[in-house]
Amino acid sequence: MPIHEKSLIRPENLAIHEDLTIEGVDVSGHWSTFIKSRAVTDYNEAMEQEIAALPGGEYIHRCWQCGSCTNSCTVNAVNPDFNPRYWIYLIRLGMEEELLRDKDIVWQCVSCNKCTYACPRDVNPEGVMKATAHWLELKGHTDQKPSMAFDEIFSAQVFATGKIEEGRIIRQFFARTGQSLFQDWLLALARGLAKRLPVGLLARLGFAALFRPRTSGWGRAQAAMAEYLGEQQAARRSALGIEEGAKR
Amino acid sequence: MSGKHRKVAYYPGCALEETGHAYNRSTKELGKALGLELVELENWNCCGAMEVKNLDPKLQTYLSARNLAIAGKMGFDTVMAPCNGCYHNLKKAEYDLGHDAGSREVVERLSQKAGHETYEAGGVSTIHALDWIKEAIGEDGLKNRVENSLKGLKIANYYGCMYTRPRHIFPEKDKGPGSESTSKPHFMDDLLAAAGADCVEFPLRTACCGGAHTLSDSDISTKLVLNLLTTAEACGAEVIATECPTCHTGLEMHQVRAEKVFGRKTRVKILYFTQLLGMALGLSARRVGVQENLSDASDLLRQKGLG
Ligand code: SF4
Ligand code: SF4
């Protein structure tokens, strides 16, 4: 049988016979690609439960591996290594080492929900991608990825004031991720804007910090949300067996 | 005209106060021109966009529940949100609070602690700006009011992700003739065609622009946007019409980035559907905020005798 998704097999596990005849039939080249047999013993049996304990991962057990998620996936079309179906397979089996090979791309899910739309089993693969990315970070397998830094900066501002101010978020994000605000394309944008925009709106866009949107009387909502989030985060750390007080 | 939605609660959301200001302006102007009244939600809060849910989805549900509770308190049963992100989050909160006891519990607890009414599922329903015009005025109503037809302007209508996915949070869609479709949405096509546009067949109408990672993963976003722009051009479009500030700004930003970083120049212009409808009703380009767009469409509009 030809091997589907050959890219998923590590090159060292592929055996290709350039010159092979079986029962008088020449099966060289493409037809003689085999996967070397191997024995996997180091399963992480807790992995599925841990990811299921994080928000979005709840329904991972429903997956029947149809592949509709990967087939419809926006990021997969750009990068074939981004493969939700395969990662769910690895997680459910507990093949942590294989999953870790892709640890630096899981966060790239753009939350387009094409997978969730296509999934016949209501797995919510988009949520599983987020849960997996969080799991990798909480377990210390990856540093904080740019999208998570962005989520935190954005959310912190919503929690603090009830509203967001885009210019401020952009400045903080660029600072936290060590990027310059003076990139060619950003400058081109700013120049284009400056030509046409009224000064007041430019100011609002954060080129000057004059405008601070906020929801009034937000303090009590802020306190209630902070308390709730604290509880949730503690519960997640304990589900993952991470000691209290340990930072990521 | 059905008499529906003559007066609705209006939730602009954060983006419409800043980068999406032109959408805010053109939505209000369009409402005025059509005799539809918008009453802004008092002291609203951010819906959490695509970010807060990644810290905790139920906190995001609470943020929308608070806004829905405000609409209810102001005496409205309908809130209109022009931003796909806001619209999606309000719809999702409606759905989750109607179906999930855990979400209800958290929202009740947080609302009590924050000291405001708790939104009860079913009390207020959310519509998009497209539903608003489609249901309040409709194609025939628009045709009668067109003063300055879009004269066959070739438009690719771009709906993005959050307007149709995931489908379970949009129970009113996919209900046969007259309803919106989640696989091939058409409300924007219908309205702009009624205003005289020639809407091209655009296969990427619900493809993703990478908006969630516009800044955190710029190269992927630029690739996705470039794909949208070149496909729209290949379909013969002169303009991409948008109905979301995040998509709109993403398309504009990455059109520039594609040229500066990848050396790929595209000419298609990006305009909000509210700007296009406003101009068809005879409003000037300035009134509908065309000068606030990054994508400078003024030459094209002049050439077409619009604005
Ligand atoms: S679409 Fe759903 S059931 Fe199919 S492989 Fe993906 S997650 Fe599993
Ligand atoms: S939500 Fe993420 S995993 Fe799902 S299709 Fe979109 S990019 Fe792929």
What would the two tokens of residue A248 be?
A: 């990521």
Q: Please say whether the structural domain A47-138 has been given the CATH code 3.40.50.300.
A: no
Considering only CA atoms, give the Rg of chain A: 24
Mean pLDDT check: name the lowest of A35-44, A204-213, B212-221, B242-251.
A204-213
Average pLDDT, chain A: 84
- DSSP string spanning A97-163? HHHHTTTTTGGG-----HHHHH-TT---HHHHHHHHHHHHHHTTSSPPPHHHHHHHHHHHHHHHHSS
pLDDT value, residue B63: 96
A151 Cα–ligand 2 center, Å: 17
Q: Please, which pLDDT band fits residue B51 given cuts at 50, 70 and 90?
A: confident
Average pLDDT, chain B: 94
Q: What ipTM was reported for this prediction?
A: 0.91
CA distance B132 to B137: 8
What would the two tokens of residue A197 be?
A: 């925009």
- Residue with token string 């608003």: B132
Average pLDDT over residues B27-49: 95
In chain A, domain spans: 6-35, 47-138, 146-240
Domains of chain B: 7-127 (1.20.1050.140), 148-303 (3.40.50.11810)
* Closest approach atom of ligand 1 to CA A60: 7
pLDDT value, residue A105: 95
CB contact under 8 A, B114 and A188: no
Question: Chain A within 8 Å of B117 (Cβ-Cβ)?
Answer: no
**Whether residue A78 has pLDDT greater than 80:** yes
End-to-end CA distance of chain A: 45
**Whether residue A79 has pLDDT greater than 90:** yes
Average pLDDT over residues B275-292: 95
* Closest approach atom of ligand 1 to CA A128: 7
Q: What share of chain A is helix, strand, coil (3-state, %, to 5)?
A: 55, 5, 40
Average pLDDT over residues B248-259: 92
Average pLDDT over residues A190-197: 64
| φ and ψ at residue A23, rounded to 5 degrees | 45, 45
Looking at the CA of A118, name the nearest ligand.
Answer: 1
pLDDT in tens, B189-238: 999 999 999 999 999 999 999 988 877 788 999 999 999 999 999 999 99
pLDDT value, residue B113: 96
Selecting from B51, B63, B162 the residue whose C-beta is nearest the C-beta of A154 gives B51
A219-239 vs B57-73: helix crossing angle, rounded to 10: 150
Q: Please, which pLDDT band fits residue A182 given cuts at 50, 70 and 90?
A: low
| Closest Cα in chain A, distance from residue B190 (Å) | 24
| Closest Cα in chain A, distance from residue B305 (Å) | 21
CB contact under 8 A, A164 and B63: no
Q: pTM for this structure?
A: 0.91
Q: Please, which pLDDT band fits residue A77 given cuts at 50, 70 and 90?
A: very high
In order of A35, A91, A173, the CA distances from A170 in angstroms are: 48, 34, 5
Average pLDDT over residues A11-40: 79
pLDDT in tens, A221-239: 999 999 999 999 999 999 9
Residue type for A245, please? G
Q: Please, which pLDDT band fits residue A193 given cuts at 50, 70 and 90?
A: low
